[in-house]
A = this chain, B = another copy of it.
Amino acid sequence: MKPYVLIAEDEDALATLLEYNFQKEGYDVSIARDGDEALLLAAERTPDFILLDWMMPKLSGIEVCRRLRRKSETRSTPIIMLTARGDETDKITGLDYGADDYVTKPFSTPELLARVRALLRRTQPGILDDVIRQGDIEIDIKAFRVKRGDKEIHLGPTEFRLLDHFMRYPGRVFSREQLLDSVWGRDVYVEARTVDVHIGRLRKALKNSGGPDPIRTVRSAGYAFEISS
């Protein structure tokens, strides 16, 4: 639903500040205090982009960056490096290792947010859009509305987030666990089968407005959203 950012930063004050600002700006945020944690969180739920501090305990930013690039899920995830001023060499090295942009500390929050928006627009087109359309289904995130053809569709909060998630990644198959992570939230404990129930509800709502069922069940794997446009 919201763009999901992973912030890897060991300095507490900065991490909190960033978390606050990005949340306020409308992002889902996770904070990692060291390199290990960053990799862990990134594996749990693939972020839409990553803020990576250059200097961190356990694994340095550059090492994290390199490892992320080795996995298929995060190979193309945009990464912004946070470096101390003056380390010009860091920039070179960082970009070498696959960072997409870098920002020197200290930076102003609006500046960073602007950089992030620019990066997202460049690399993840559509992720900042308010309206997503797939076939005859249209979802407006800011207005919390769903339409199929001309008909308004009412969805409960969970079904809305679920559809939102699916429509951002059309065709991709998500396991129940993945859906729980990214739609319900990492820390919530619910039965995997609960996903089925909500899928059912979503299907019913979408069917009421006519047209084929856009959700495909992938037996023993999960669900995917597909619709011919």
Contacts and interface: CB of A to CB of B under 8 A. Distances in A.
Copies of this protein chain in the complex? 2
Interface residues on A, range: 10 to 19
Contact of A224 (B144, B171, B173, B219): B144
Interface residues of A, dominant DSSP = loop
A105 interface: no
Interface of A: 142-144, 156-157, 171-173, 218-221, 224
Contacts of A220: 157
B143 A171 contact: yes
A157 B221 contact: yes
Contacts of A172: 142-143
What are the 6 closest A-B residue pairs judged by CB atoms, nearest first?
A144-B218, A157-B220, A143-B171, A144-B173, A144-B221, A142-B172
A157 B144 CA distance: 28
A50 to B, nearest CB: 27
